[in-house]
A and B are shown apart, each in its own frame.
Chain A
């Protein structure tokens, strides 16, 4: 294998890895704080992509579409938590898993009803069309931009969680939510906000991916297993873990595709099974 091919594979891995991290952060916080394996997370990602598509071909444009995908999917996530998930905190978490599984079926079908069952390709905005010569390889401008912007969003999330008071409340909630509640903090509202923010990040991740992978209604179901790998590998509720897990999964998948394509997806799940058995709390998780 030559250097250009290898560099391309690593760069591709970092781009998808950043998107995985974006999806993984939300999924991880929801899992850590609310104890929910959110099976609807993949479809929220897909919805973000379709919102961007509709916005970009309409008057809002591509850049407004990114913002709209973030806000609209966050609002939907908040509504899901407030109207449905909230009713099930007192019963076994398995039921919340099943609820989100049902919601994912509904939303996938809704996407097909609104946007049709056929895949759609989408060109990056004119500003970022074409590629740049990086010396070792020639690489699309849009993908580089996604890598940088996604990294900035991920960094902002990290700073928010680590440095702000609200972030401290979320971290405390992951440690011991009853204690946080005893201290007079409205944990229920923190749950709703976290669910909404996690959903919004997934939607934004989906929107970023539209010019890279295009659109297909099953994109949510396809990405969900990988998002779970990212979270479990990194550690439930750990934000740095989700980032590391995302990059690791992205690069492994991309490199394996370049080396031996049929084994690429298998190797990701083998990695997760090994990780879970060797270090169940995840690479950077505490519990």
Chain B
């Protein structure tokens, strides 16, 4: 039973990727998995390694702009852009991360935030390249070219299928990372950095590795985002997007493999559904965040676990009642 559960969950996830475009518009569905990748990456450094980064939009944005410019000016292919996203995301994270991991706690958070702001202002003011406040429009969505085969991704459903497949591959990769010996080292650093160091692990080096891996994942997510709407809006690199990503991880459940996925889905679905009803929807988001922080710090994953526990207790009580009668 215990060994089959992970497989069951994986099957449920694949089922969810098939069902989602039926439940919501394919565009929203694609956006959910794109942000799920970014949230998953933050979960690796925040949930598993214990470093809260308030600057993930840096890698998301830099990769989105890079891929956007490559597609506009060089007519770059799809896979080339994805690869560029991984490389640019990882490189940016490696450089920024190298400085950030030198500090702990609030100072770490502030440094990630501060670098995010620097990149934001470059994107905001360098209008000749990035379009500044108006965003970078006119990005063509290249077809998926596999050798001689060329599949156009010109409908939102086709693009959704592509995004879903990429997402599943990335999720599996993340699962392997977290469950590998490397993932265990990350978790030991979260639990007790000084003990991890005492056992002989170079804590800074492993933090740096975690930060860089997360940068690669986030970069890829940024590229997928830039192709989706054909525009890179300035918001993708602002600290509010960084906050959104933190928010997704938190409402889903920190340090849980499926938490960020549930969080991203809940966040994007909620903002899509509520923004149609009410222009001031961030108010509801804020209330939800406050309630989660005060009363449900494990996020939706914990809510499900609590519900299951309560049901099991009730069944047990009912069973005991039947026996005594």
Contact = CB atoms under 8 A, between A and B. Distances in A.
Interface stretch (A68-76, A202-210, A259-267): A259-267
A280 interface: yes
Given A225-B117, A266-B121, A102 B109 contact: no
Contacts of B198: none
Nearest to A271: B114
Contacts, number: 107
B294 A37 contact: no
Interface in B222-257: 239-240, 243, 246-247, 250
Q: Is the interface of A mostly helix, strand, loop or mixed?
A: helix
B114 A269 contact: yes
Nearest to A108: B282
A82 to B, nearest CB: 13
Contacts of A110: 283
B283 A229 contact: no
A280 B99 CA distance: 12
A29 to B, nearest CB: 14
Interface in A42-67: none
B280 interface: yes
A269 B116 CA distance: 9
A228 B107 contact: no
A185 B110 CA distance: 31
B249 to A, nearest CB: 10
A98 B109 contact: no
Given A94-B52, A273-B115, A276-B111, A225 B289 contact: no
A276 B294 contact: no
A88 interface: yes
B204 interface: no
Q: Is the interface of B mostly helix, strand, loop or mixed?
A: helix
A105 B297 contact: no
Interface residues of B, number: 38
B185 to A, nearest CB: 21
Contact of A99 (B124, B125, B243, B290): B290
Interface in A88-143: 88, 91, 93-95, 97-99, 101-106, 108-110, 112-113
Contacts of B111: 273, 276-277
Contact of A106 (B115, B121, B286): B286
B177 interface: no
A221 B240 contact: yes
Contact of B125 (A105, A262, A272): A262
A102 B287 contact: yes
Contacts of B99: 273, 277
A232 interface: yes
A159 interface: no
Contact of A276 (B114, B117, B243): B114
Contacts of B122: 266
Interface in B85-100: 99
B113 interface: yes
A255 B125 CA distance: 17
A109 B114 contact: no
Contacts of A108: 282
Interface of B: 52, 99, 102-103, 105-107, 109-111, 113-115, 117-118, 121-122, 124-126, 239-240, 243, 246-247, 250, 280, 282-283, 285-290, 293-294, 297
Given A108-B282, A277-B102, 4 more contacts: A98-B246, A98-B293, A106-B290, A109-B286
The 3 A-B residue pairs with the shortest CB-CB distance in the complex, in nearest-first order: A105-B286, A102-B289, A106-B286
Interface of A: 31, 35, 37, 84, 87-88, 91, 93-95, 97-99, 101-106, 108-110, 112-113, 221, 225, 228-229, 232, 236, 262-263, 265-266, 269-270, 272-273, 276-277, 280
